[in-house]
């Protein structure tokens, strides 16, 4: 005879492998999935400025080295000017449009990882290469942090780290 207790126990054992395989909150793919899920909400036009909008947000998502470089670049920007990052790097756009996304791990090591996110928009007005945003992650104090974001815009390659570094040269 099947009792409620037996049914619950059987359900837990059946779900155990799925629970064990769920990504950890600090897993790079889980981090990007959370970011893009939020960016795709509604009409997907809200973007992901929440990742870069404040010092606290940057500290949450980015490596210490990238946060320091960004702060240095911002301090080097003349008062009243737009900083070196004048677009939403997460959506690779001025006008965010995220309908869906796919996260792919390209390279994973013990302390580094590179993932690619392919973005599909509602408008579908981007070149295929411009739909892919790549992330370099590093492990810091047991957590994964974004160390660079890369992509292309109209065929021209860009890197957040390079843009910030280049802004310090002028």
pLDDT, average across residues 122-135: 90
How far is it, in rounded angstroms, from Cα 97 to Cα 77? 28
How far is it, in rounded angstroms, from Cα 12 to Cα 19? 9
- Report the range of poorest mean pLDDT among 7-11, 61-65, 74-78, 140-144: 7-11
pTM of the prediction? 0.82
**What is the count of structural domains for the chain?**
1
pLDDT tens digits for 22-31? 444 569 999 9
Output the domain CATH number for residue 73: 3.10.450.50
17 in any annotated domain = no
9 in any annotated domain = no
- Ordered alpha helix ranges (H), the chain: 4-21, 28-39, 55-61, 64-76, 160-167
Q: Sign of torsion, CA 28 63 41 130?
A: negative
Residue 71 is predicted with a pLDDT of 94
pLDDT tens digits for 60-114? 999 999 999 999 999 998 888 888 899 999 999 998 999 999 999 999 999 999 9
pLDDT tens digits for 46-55? 888 899 988 9
Asked if residue 124 lies in contact with residue 100, where contact means CB atoms within 8 angstroms, the answer is: no
Domain of residue 116: give its range. Answer: 24-167
19 in any annotated domain = no
44 in any annotated domain = yes
């Amino acid at each position: 005879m099947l009792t409620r207790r037996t049914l619950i126990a059987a359900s837990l054992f059946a779900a155990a492998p799925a629970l064990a395989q769920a990504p950890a909150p600090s897993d790079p793919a889980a981090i990007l999935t959370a970011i893009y899920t939020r960016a795709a909400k509604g009409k997907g036009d809200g973007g992901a400025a929440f990742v870069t909008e404040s010092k606290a947000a940057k500290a949450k998502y980015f490596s210490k080295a990238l946060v320091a470089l960004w702060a240095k670049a911002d301090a080097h920007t003349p008062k009243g000017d737009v900083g070196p990052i004048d677009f939403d790097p997460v959506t690779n756009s001025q006008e965010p449009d995220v309908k869906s996304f796919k996260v792919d791990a390209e390279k994973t090591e013990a302390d580094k990882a590179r993932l690619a996110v392919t973005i599909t928009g509602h408008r579908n007005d981007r070149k295929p290469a411009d739909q892919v945003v790549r992330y370099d992650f590093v492990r810091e104090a047991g957590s994964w942090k974004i160390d660079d974001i890369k992509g292309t815009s109209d065929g021209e390659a860009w890197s957040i780290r390079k843009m910030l570094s280049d802004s310090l040269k002028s």
